[in-house]
Chain A
Amino acid sequence: MSSETKQILTTDGIPLEVSLKKAEKKNKIKAFLLVAPLLLFLVITYIFPIGDMFMRSVDDKMITNMLPKTFKAMEKWENLEELPPEEVYQSFYEDYKLLAENQQHGKLGQRLNKEKNGFNTITKKLFRQIKRKKIDESISIKEQINKLHKRWRNVEYWLAIKRTAPPYTVAKYLKGMDMYFDSDGSITQVEEDRRIHRILWLRTLEIAFFVTLFSFFMGYPIAHLLATLPMKYSNLLMICVLLPFWTSLLVRTASWMILLQQQGLVNDFFVMIGLVGDDNRPEMMYNKVGTYVAMTQILLPFMVLPLYSVMKTISPSLMRAGKSLGGTPFVAFWKVYFPLTIPGIGAGCLLVFILAIGYYITPALVGGASGTLISNQIAFHMKTTLDWSFASAMGLMLLTGVLVIYWIYNKLVGVDNIKLG
């Protein structure tokens, strides 16, 4: 085939393609103007905050700006096994003096203390010396500082300062995975009994996985009923499914607490029918059972609705055809009906899993100690420790996790197969 097709002209001699583009340009501008407010809204409320979050999570400029001369002098510090040369001490002293005058020295101490324990004490000591004007600037600063505390004579502490030089760091991400940079700059795992974040990540995944599984097994038959029942019953059932949507999350969680506690309604019922003894009531709250029950109930509509919308489009004559061709009801279901619902299953599972992975209030309230998930940790760092950059880093790790799951799903099922309704 020749690629040089003859150019078609319109009646007034303009090439057809050009005139088509011209004609469509107006429509394109109109369409763009229609979505522009939403786009702007998304950029302001979504893209920008995520970018800001990312910047925060890697930002380490504070200390870079506090000790500019020190870091410049440290570039000439070659033998890292020995204490830095006089210039470094000199520059550090000048930087610190300036900070002390501006009342910024406390922040530096705290920040360095995070890098290596014990910094707070020795910087305070230095501050007091400067305040009392005990440092003689005409003789060696190095010797005077070294005399203040034995830690100043330890090269580890100077190396710690040097490590804070780059304006960006991935330390927060490492911390999120229970790892850190040790004194020689290599990545090391924290001691086994302090690996708290890894447990939280795994627990979050585990709970999200099982909640998705339970929602699927409960939601599939409900969605099927909804799609096949006559209108007057299916409407009622639909209201029952949607009812949780119309109730506040906190109210629903609180009512699960009333139901599941040891003196709660469910336990009372078990005792009444003689399933368990009165003195032997099982704990259904402040453990994983409570988290599973409450989260499954709350997330169930997100599974049912996509499934329902897909099932609604499957003609009942397909199942009939399957049966009339000789398939048992199970074969007809498994070979005909089930494959056709996969787009709905994909959409429902993805929705529930992603929502569950970021769940926070419900597991915290009904899950007890085992209900602490990664999002609780993020909230903790946002509100209590005020380590926003760590919270941002973990938030982004969560986001990345979700994107990875989405990517895997796309590889397995294909995003085009998602059907939300």
Chain B
Amino acid sequence: MSKNPEFVKFDKVDKSYDGKVLVVKDLQLDIAEGEFITMLGPSGSGKTTCLMMLAGFETPTHGEILLDGNIISNIPPHKRGIGMVFQNYALFPHMTVYENLAFPLRVRKVEKDEIDKKVDKALSMVSLNGFETRMPAQLSGGQQQRVAVARALVFDPAVVLMDEPLGALDKNLRESMQYEIKHIHESIGVTVVYVTHDQSEALTMSNRIAVFNDGKVQQLSNPAELYEKPVNSFVAEFIGENNTFNGEIVDIDKDKCKVKLANSEILANPISVKSKGEKTTVSLRPERALINPSEKMDNMFTGKIEEVIYHGDHTRVRLNLLGSSEFILKVPNSTSNLELKVSQDINIGWNSIDARALDPK
């Protein structure tokens, strides 16, 4: 059976709560069967609204949502068969773990033996066997989270929605849960729509990421492409760290352009600029700029160290370069460590292909 590339489809969906402001604008998004897609964006960008529309708790103001080719805008939430993991888990506090997991099966009138089997299977999936009789309040945050995931999966839904499920956990637990959820997804092949504002979470877990801002999808692509090749300055800024230069195009050809800054010129890779005279923001990842590069690079400048911050596995260096004192360098912690001292002058170089000339900020 071939996988349906349009298993979930948002077709020109608009959403407004007050009739004045569009929270979601003309959303067009296809989600393939078995895919792990993440909606990533700052708060108020419309990502949770999209999830709520898919779950059926909000109705689109305009447009249709299709699930496996059927319009679901008029189907109430309980008939959609979509599993959901909520931000604060939403475990039923008056039911045991077993009863929580059995709830979706009982309302579907599944036989008792079958329920036992499925609950057992779901609990072993999140390695919580033996916790059946506990109440949710007797579980730790991570365990509650795993129960919530198991409950959303126990009735074999076609799609599982997760609304910032790891937001309430501490950092270590969050990271281990990320892998756990990813492995569960890989082993059962369910379609997952995941909402988060944490970019590293999105990069670790997803097949594809839809970056939301201002009610629109800014970029939809796999994590590597999103990080390496952001299509606009919002995405470049939002995902990972970023050094920016604001300037004006003075010369442009197919894969190179010259950008005039306040008092110098740099070479960059034209992404969303087309002609001379356009304003642009050039984006460069900190790890793509090297100190005293051994190979020849087409951008070579000298900067002055303003600040050195030790981070253990790497050292962050803030430079005054090309008139900006916010230029960040990441120096990996290796045995051949350089002597880095404040107010020392160093040579910096990067390739023009890594400096992406995007829309002006």
Q: Which residues of A contact B (CB under 8 A)?
A: 315, 317-318, 320-329, 331-332, 335-336, 339-340
Contacts and interface: CB of A to CB of B under 8 A. Distances in A.
A327 B78 contact: yes
B90 interface: yes
B83 A324 contact: yes
Given A317-B86, A321-B90, 11 more contacts: A320-B77, A320-B90, A321-B86, A322-B92, A323-B57, A325-B103, A325-B104, A325-B155, A326-B155, A329-B78, A332-B78
Contacts of A328: 78, 107
Interface residues of B, number: 27
Contact of B94 (A315, A324, A339): A339
Contacts of A327: 78, 103-104, 107
Interface of B: 55-57, 76-78, 80-84, 86-88, 90-94, 103-104, 107-108, 151-152, 155, 161
A321 B103 CA distance: 10
Nearest to A324: B84
B93 A340 contact: yes
Interface centre among B78, B83, B152 (most CB of A within 10 A): B78
Contacts of B82: 324
B78 A321 contact: no
Contacts of B78: 323-329, 331-332
B86 A335 contact: no
Contacts of B108: 326
A323 B92 contact: no
Interface centre among A318, A320, A324 (most CB of B within 10 A): A324
26 contacts: A315-B90, A317-B87, A317-B90, A318-B92, A320-B57, A320-B77, A321-B92, A322-B103, A323-B56, A323-B76, A323-B77, A323-B78, A324-B55, A324-B82, A324-B161, A325-B104, A325-B151, A327-B78, A327-B107, A328-B78, A328-B107, A329-B76, A331-B78, A331-B107, A336-B92, A340-B93
Give 5 closest A-B pairs by Cβ, nearest first: A325-B104, A321-B90, A317-B90, A324-B84, A323-B77
Contact of B90 (A318, A326, A331, A339): A318
A322 B88 CA distance: 14
A78 to B, nearest CB: 69
Contacts of B104: 325-327
Contact of A326 (B81, B93, B161): B81
Contacts of B76: 323, 329
B168 to A, nearest CB: 13
Contacts of B107: 325-328, 331
Contacts of A324: 55-57, 77-78, 80, 82-84, 161
Contacts of A318: 90, 92
A315 B77 contact: no
Contacts of B92: 318, 321-322, 335-336
A340 B92 CA distance: 9
A326 to B, nearest CB: 5
Contacts of B91: 321
B350 to A, nearest CB: 47
Interface centre among B82, B84, B87 (most CB of A within 10 A): B84
Contact of A335 (B80, B103, B152): B103
B346 to A, nearest CB: 52
A118 to B, nearest CB: 66
Contacts of B87: 317
A335 to B, nearest CB: 7
A44 B82 CA distance: 63
A273 B152 CA distance: 54
A340 B81 contact: no
Contact of B83 (A320, A325, A332, A340): A325
A323 B152 CA distance: 12
A340 B94 contact: yes
